[in-house]
Amino acid sequence: MTNTNATISLMFRQQQTAEDILEPSPWSKLRRRILGNHSFLIGAVILVVIVAVAILAPLLAPHDPYDQDLTKRLTNPFWHEKKIDPDHALGTDKVGRDYLSRLIYGSQISLLIGFSTMLISGVIGTVLGVTAGYFGGRVDMVVNFIINTRLAMPVFLVAMAAVVAFGASLTVVILVLGLFLWDRFAVVMRSITMQARDLDYVKAARAMGCSTPYIIVREIFPNVLSSLTVVATVEMANAILLEAALSFLGFGVQAPTPSWGLMLNEGREYMFFSPWLLALPGVCLFLLVLAINLFGDGLRDVTLERER
Amino acid sequence: MPAYTLKRTFVAFLILIVVSGLTFSLSHLSADPALTIGGEQASEEDIQAIRKLYGFDRPIYVQYFDWLGRALAGDFGESYHYKQRVFDMISERIGRTMLLGTLAILFALAVSIPLGTLAAMRPNSIIDRIALFIAVLGQALPTFWFALMMIIVFGVWWRWLPISGHTQWANYVMPTIALGYYATPALMRLTRAGMIEVLASDYIRTARAKGLSPASVLFKHALRNAIIPVVALAAVWFGFMLGGSIVIETIFNLKGIGWLSYDALLRSDLPVVQAIVLVFASFYVVLTLLADLLNAYLDPRISVR
Amino acid sequence: MASGVILEVENLRVDIPVAAGMLHPVRGIGFSVSRGETLCIVGESGCGKSLTSLAIMGLLPKTAQRTADRMDFLGRDIRHLGEREMARQRGGSMSMIFQEPMTSLNPSYTIGNQLAEVHLRHVGQNRTAARDRAVFLLEKVGISAAASRLGQYPHQLSGGQRQRVMIAMALMCGPELIIADEPTTALDVTIQAQILHLLAELQREFQMGMILITHDLGIVARVADKVQVMYAGKTVEEGPCETVFDAPMHPYTQGLLRCIPIPGLTRRGERLGSVPGIVPNLVGTLSGCMFRNRCDHARDACANMRDEPTHMGDGHAYTCLRAPEEILGERQAAGTP
């Protein structure tokens, strides 16, 4: 920064301190920051809606998502003029299952995959990253090698191969993605832990003879928590997209499970005549991933400002 | 510098060995390749004979080193299904994947660098907001779904572009966009952040104090410094993209090695899958190495360290 | 235009809109610089001295607004020149040296490239001439093996060497006016003296007008012809260097002068003076003397004081309510210069 800019920002800061004194409480400040942060709000609202839909699926869905009715195959959604069925607002798929109900239940699959993958990869990545960052030296070198090896593996191809090897099922997809998507956690946690390790109070704790696990859990972990949450949202979105792509190619969740990716796969052969079979699950996927990304971006902005 | 390069190369090589070892054991431990080769009608004796013939009765590590030794010599074995040399199958198709990947990364750079630069020059302006909007939308759009929507709109409704194949240039337009746009948000954000930082730097102030033209300040002094990390990231993304080409090639029936790997997986054609994993991994490793070297060339400070 | 006057500025103001209102970092500054003359602008950080220099160069941040009653450079009104015209002046007839030699050179280009660039822009597209000029000036600023340095990158040079390169760069097109904004702050003390000496020497040799911005009165005493003391965006005292140092009139100038150790007079271990308090906030409507909250002589009337400088003759003037007799009488009573 130039001296001039520094001087100007110094002047700004003086002004802000004056405001700080007038500010009643840090909580109202945080609240205002959250309300002022549109992306966080929009993301959070969409996310809450989708989670609510997933939880309340049995109540919301007009039909059983597995109920086939071959007499009502491929009826159109309500905006079409011909071949609509008032019983199926968003139409039916190739075996006459209610599309709306399948879309509603699909949110369960996506959220389940996203969340469990995030938990598994989060644990692996955080343990690796914090270990490397805290101990440094040879430990760091080994972890670094593991991270690089993981990055060199073509995730999608290896995930497909693993699904072929162990059989396609929800559990396999979750495990495979969970075992693969920890790299970002590890990289971020490693660098943050390295910075945190050099903080004065962490040094002080070490000088006082606190045990390493104690220091990591009590002194370092609170530091990395906000970054951890942001990375978690990124990985969750990533996992949801990957599951959809795997299921779309037939290497993921198997029929008749209502997964959005699988629905895209099943709708593909009708793309010329019933493009909405492809459009709808894609829009759902897009909205969910968008919401998670906005939420994560907003979270980063909110926490960054607080730390400043 | 030479010592550093040598060490990096050695580590890269080690990574490849570990990656291929993992893939090899993954595929061989879980499924019995003899069953795949024999097919459904094979009797128990046939299977035993196949095991002997291919050496599947040996311990897994012996099989692995046997495979690795020949792979290093360029012999990836023979496809179980097509009974063709895997090396030939790959070399016949790899050009298409490379072409697609190159076009996609160029597309991503051609969009993200100008947009990121414009956004950085006027933070919080309309252009900045549009760029941010594109970035946020782009990150959430599932690649394969975007590809399908393009096929419906440009291929089926408007009939502008062919929807499958690899014989003409027009075949590459939609796959390029579908694969390339996904890298755009990350590259654009990095360009923007880098440009904002560089434009506020002291040497840009010096350049302006020298009375240089705005174009010279922007292109000669700012962009070159801001673009260094973008180049590095683009190289890494290029590696990811080759991996991502599996879905895109499958959707557009563009028969590169991404499509080949999909086809091989459907048929449990292990030698082909292993070879392609190794090819993708090598690309990634070589590209990250090259990105570092390119950085060193563009930023003279790095080569000294 | 008086003969030899290069730059004449009257009532220069800079306003920057910020969240809390309007920031007034420079509030009516005026001065003139003649050929071969060194004007020192002195003040604490935040007093607006750097922004003053950027305002002259037309390098203010985009949001900042500049107004002035007069800004004549080489007899030409530069207040309303467009960016293109100003760019033609910058680096050509007026150039600037900044305080951060470590970061002020572009890390990606060689010294030769960055030096020649100025010449190619302002003098003409003759690479040999530009190169020769660069070598000549590098030798002039005391860089050994100048020709072979042209191919070096900034990171291969020390801080002092880089500042020498910056000086050579400022001189590439033979400017009439050179503005140096704290050119030695970031350097080691021994190097500071060398660079300062070099600047003064070059200024004399090329007969340039120089504006030296600093917070270090020790530097001022050595090189200045004229001194201008700034506080909170205003001139509080100005005059010929010797007069101001011998008979400082404004309490702020007196405070600053107490802060410099004088060889022979300041005893070892003796506490140097300091000016207590901080620079006031310059946002919103401001009135009266801004120094009053730090001043020992403050009185109620200071809050409503108008900016009417008291002239002492010989160009020496100060802006304070206290009458000259009061200040001089007090000084005699104290027995200190």
Burial C229-261 (b: 16+ CB within 10 A, else e): bbbbbbbbbbbebebbbebbbbbbbbbbbbebe
In degrees, rounded to 5, the angle at the alpha carbon of residue C18 between the alpha carbons of residues C17 and C23 is 65
End-to-end Cα spacing for chain C: 37
pLDDT for the residue A125: 94
- Does C122 reach chain B within 8 Å, measured CB to CB? yes
Tokens of B220: 């000669």
Residue C270 CB burial class (10 angstroms; 0-12, 13-18, ≥19):
exposed
Q: Is C4 left (phi over 0), alpha (psi -120 to 50) or beta?
A: left
pLDDT at A250 over 60: yes
Between chains, do B31 and A165 touch, taking CB under 8 Å as contact?
A: yes
Q: Tell me the backbone φ, ψ of residue B85, rounded to 5 degrees.
A: -70, 130
Arithmetic mean of pLDDT, C221-243:
90
Distance CA B281, CA B275 (A): 10
Between chains, do A3 and C20 touch, taking CB under 8 Å as contact?
A: no
pLDDT for the residue A24: 43
Kindly indicate the confidence band of residue A305, based on its pLDDT and cuts at 50, 70 and 90. Answer: low
* Cβ neighbours of B296 (radius 10 Å): 17
Contacts of residues C250-254 at CB distance under 8 Å and 24 or more positions apart, as own/partner, are: C250/C291, C250/C318, C250/C319, C250/C320, C251/C291, C251/C295, C251/C296, C251/C297, C251/C320, C251/C322, C252/C291, C252/C294, C252/C295, C253/C229, C253/C318
Which run of H or E residues covers position C26? strand C21-34
Tokens of C29: 């500054």
Under a CB-based contact definition with an 8 Å cutoff, are residues B89 and B77 in contact?
A: no
Distance CA C325, CA C74 (A): 39
pLDDT at C40 over 60: yes
Tokens 């992306």 belong to: A39
Between chains, do A293 and B139 touch, taking CB under 8 Å as contact?
A: yes
CB contacts under 8 A, C 153-172 vs B, are 153, 155, 166, 169
Between chains, do C23 and A7 touch, taking CB under 8 Å as contact?
A: no
Kindly indicate the confidence band of residue A19, based on its pLDDT and cuts at 50, 70 and 90. Answer: very low
Mutate to test the interface with B, among C89, C108, C157, C185 (most CBs of B within 10 A): C108
- Does A2 reach chain C within 8 Å, measured CB to CB? yes
Between chains, do A278 and B261 touch, taking CB under 8 Å as contact?
A: no
Q: Which residues contact B31 (CB under 8 A, 6 or more apart)?
A: A164, A165, B268, B270
Within 8 A of C16 by CB-CB distance, chain A residues are 8
Q: Which of B201, B216, B193 is nearest to B128 (CA)?
A: B193
Q: Which residues contact A118 (CB under 8 A, 6 or more apart)?
A: A232, A235, A236, A239
Between chains, do A3 and C182 touch, taking CB under 8 Å as contact?
A: yes
Between chains, do A12 and C18 touch, taking CB under 8 Å as contact?
A: yes
Between chains, do B213 and C87 touch, taking CB under 8 Å as contact?
A: yes
Question: How close is the nearest chain B Cα to the Cα of A188, in Å?
Answer: 16
Q: Distances from the Cα of C146 to the Cαs of A100, C112, C131, C132, in angstroms?
A: 77, 10, 11, 10
Question: How close is the nearest chain B Cα to the Cα of C118, in Å?
Answer: 6
Q: Tell me the backbone φ, ψ of residue C296, rounded to 5 degrees.
A: -75, -20
Residue extents of the structural domains in chain C: 2-84+176-334, 102-172
- Taking only the tens place, the pLDDT of each residue in A38-82 is 778 888 999 999 999 999 989 888 888 888 888 877 788 878 777
pLDDT at A18 over 80: no
Radius of gyration (C-alpha) of chain A in whole angstroms:
24
Arithmetic mean of pLDDT, C117-132:
89
Kindly indicate the confidence band of residue A281, based on its pLDDT and cuts at 50, 70 and 90. Answer: very high
- Taking only the tens place, the pLDDT of each residue in C287-317 is 788 888 888 888 888 888 887 888 888 889 9
Tokens 């052969």 belong to: A269
Arithmetic mean of pLDDT, C102-124:
90
Between chains, do A264 and B144 touch, taking CB under 8 Å as contact?
A: yes
pLDDT for the residue B104: 94
Domains of chain B: 31-74 (no CATH), 94-298 (1.10.3720.10)
In degrees, rounded to 5, the angle at the alpha carbon of residue B129 between the alpha carbons of residues B124 and B131 is 120
Tokens of B144: 């394969």
Within 8 A of A17 by CB-CB distance, chain C residues are none
- Taking only the tens place, the pLDDT of each residue in B166-176 is 778 888 889 99
Considering only alpha carbons, which residue of chain A is nearest residue C49? A4
Q: Which residues contact B289 (CB under 8 A, 6 or more apart)?
A: B8, B9, B12
Tokens of A205: 């704790």
Question: How close is the nearest chain B Cα to the Cα of C130, in Å?
Answer: 14
Question: How close is the nearest chain A Cα to the Cα of B110, in Å?
Answer: 24
- Does C181 reach chain A within 8 Å, measured CB to CB? yes
- Whether omega for the bond prior to residue A256 falls within 30 degrees of 0, making it cis, is yes
Within 8 A of C54 by CB-CB distance, chain A residues are 4
Q: Which of B77, B96, B104 is nearest to B88 (CA)?
A: B77
Distance CA B206, CA B212 (A): 9
Which run of H or E residues covers position B206? helix B202-209
Question: How close is the nearest chain C Cα to the Cα of A3, in Å?
Answer: 8
- Does B301 reach chain C within 8 Å, measured CB to CB? yes
C15 three-class SS:
strand
pLDDT for the residue A28: 60
Considering only alpha carbons, which residue of chain B is nearest residue A239? B142
Mean pLDDT (chain C, rounded) = 85
Distance CA C82, CA C71 (A): 14
Kindly indicate the confidence band of residue C61, based on its pLDDT and cuts at 50, 70 and 90. Answer: confident
Arithmetic mean of pLDDT, C194-207:
89
Which chains lie within 8 Å of chain C at 3 or more CB pairs, if any?
A, B
Between chains, do B207 and C106 touch, taking CB under 8 Å as contact?
A: yes
pLDDT for the residue B290: 80
Considering only alpha carbons, which residue of chain B is nearest residue C179? B209
Tokens 């074995």 belong to: B77
Between chains, do C122 and B211 touch, taking CB under 8 Å as contact?
A: yes
pLDDT at A6 over 50: no
pLDDT at A12 over 50: no
Distance CA C311, CA A172 (A): 89
* Residue from the list C83, C90, C103 with its beta carbon closest to the beta carbon of B203: C103
Arithmetic mean of pLDDT, C132-143:
90
* Residue from the list C50, C282, C283 with its beta carbon closest to the beta carbon of A4: C50
Tokens 């075996």 belong to: A95
Q: Which of C278, A246, A69 is nearest to B250 (CA)?
A: A246
Q: Which of B275, B270, B295, B279 is nearest to B98 (CA)?
A: B279
Q: Which of C191, C186, C226, C231 is nearest to C210 (CA)?
A: C226
Arithmetic mean of pLDDT, C103-123:
90
List the pLDDT tens digit at each of the 305 positions of chain B: 566 678 778 888 889 889 888 888 877 766 677 777 777 677 778 888 877 777 777 787 888 888 888 888 888 888 888 888 889 999 999 999 999 999 999 999 999 999 999 999 888 888 888 888 888 888 888 988 999 999 888 888 887 888 777 778 888 889 999 999 888 988 998 999 899 999 989 999 999 999 898 888 998 899 988 888 888 788 888 887 887 789 999 999 889 999 999 999 888 888 898 899 989 988 888 888 887 777 666 666 654 43
Question: How close is the nearest chain C Cα to the Cα of B289, in Å?
Answer: 21
Q: Which of B178, B186, B176, B185 is nearest to B130 (CA)?
A: B185
- Does B16 reach chain A within 8 Å, measured CB to CB? yes
Within 8 A of B220 by CB-CB distance, chain C residues are 109
CB contacts under 8 A, A 221-240 vs B, are 237
C297 three-class SS:
coil
- Does A39 reach chain B within 8 Å, measured CB to CB? yes
Considering only alpha carbons, which residue of chain B is nearest residue C54? B209
* Residue from the list C91, C105, C109 with its beta carbon closest to the beta carbon of B209: C91
In degrees, rounded to 5, the angle at the alpha carbon of residue B104 between the alpha carbons of residues B103 and B108 is 115
Partners of residue C180 on adjacent β-strands: C97, C212
- Does B205 reach chain C within 8 Å, measured CB to CB? yes
pLDDT for the residue C63: 85
* Torsional sign, CA C206, C207, C208, C211: positive
Distance CA C19, CA A15 (A): 9
Which run of H or E residues covers position C236? strand C234-240
Tokens of C185: 């702050």
CATH node for C2-84+176-334:
3.40.50.300
In degrees, rounded to 5, the angle at the alpha carbon of residue B157 between the alpha carbons of residues B153 and B159 is 95
B246 three-class SS:
helix
- Does A12 reach chain C within 8 Å, measured CB to CB? yes
C56 three-class SS:
helix
Radius of gyration (C-alpha) of chain C in whole angstroms:
21
Between chain A and chain B, how many beta carbons pairs sit less than 8 Å apart?
125
* Cβ neighbours of A305 (radius 10 Å): 13
DSSP 8-state secondary structure symbol assigned to residue A40: H
Q: What's the CATH superfamily of A28-61+87-307? A: MetI-like (1.10.3720.10)
- Does A56 reach chain C within 8 Å, measured CB to CB? no
Distance CA B169, CA B79 (A): 30
Identity of the amino acid at B96: R
Between chains, do C103 and B201 touch, taking CB under 8 Å as contact?
A: yes
pLDDT for the residue C335: 58
Under a CB-based contact definition with an 8 Å cutoff, are residues B247 and B97 in contact?
A: no
Q: Which residues contact C199 (CB under 8 A, 6 or more apart)?
A: C97, C167, C180, C183, C210, C212, C223
Distance CA A181, CA A267 (A): 28
Between chains, do C281 and A18 touch, taking CB under 8 Å as contact?
A: yes
- Does A18 reach chain C within 8 Å, measured CB to CB? yes
Distance CA C208, CA C38 (A): 9
Distance CA B225, CA B201 (A): 11
Question: How close is the nearest chain B Cα to the Cα of A184, in Å?
Answer: 14
Pairing of strands C38-42, C5-18: unpaired
Between chains, do C283 and A8 touch, taking CB under 8 Å as contact?
A: no
Distance CA B67, CA B79 (A): 13
**A14-23, A183-192, B54-63, C92-101, range with the lowest pLDDT:** A14-23
How would DSSP label each residue in A109-157? HHHHHHHHHHHHHHHHHHHHHHHHHHH-HHHHHHHHHHHHHHHHS-HHH
Considering only alpha carbons, which residue of chain A is nearest residue B28? A165
pLDDT at A121 over 90: yes
- Does A7 reach chain C within 8 Å, measured CB to CB? yes
Q: Tell me the backbone φ, ψ of residue C214, rounded to 5 degrees.
A: -155, 165
- Taking only the tens place, the pLDDT of each residue in C146-162 is 889 999 999 889 888 99
Mutate to test the interface with A, among C18, C59, C96 (most CBs of A within 10 A): C18
Distance CA A194, CA A144 (A): 13
Q: Which of C99, A11, A164 is nearest to B269 (CA)?
A: A164
* Torsional sign, CA C175, C176, C181, C184: positive
Distance CA B184, CA B188 (A): 6
**pLDDT > 90 in chain A, percent:** 32
Question: How close is the nearest chain C Cα to the Cα of B206, in Å?
Answer: 6
Between chains, do B148 and A251 touch, taking CB under 8 Å as contact?
A: no
pLDDT at A146 over 80: yes
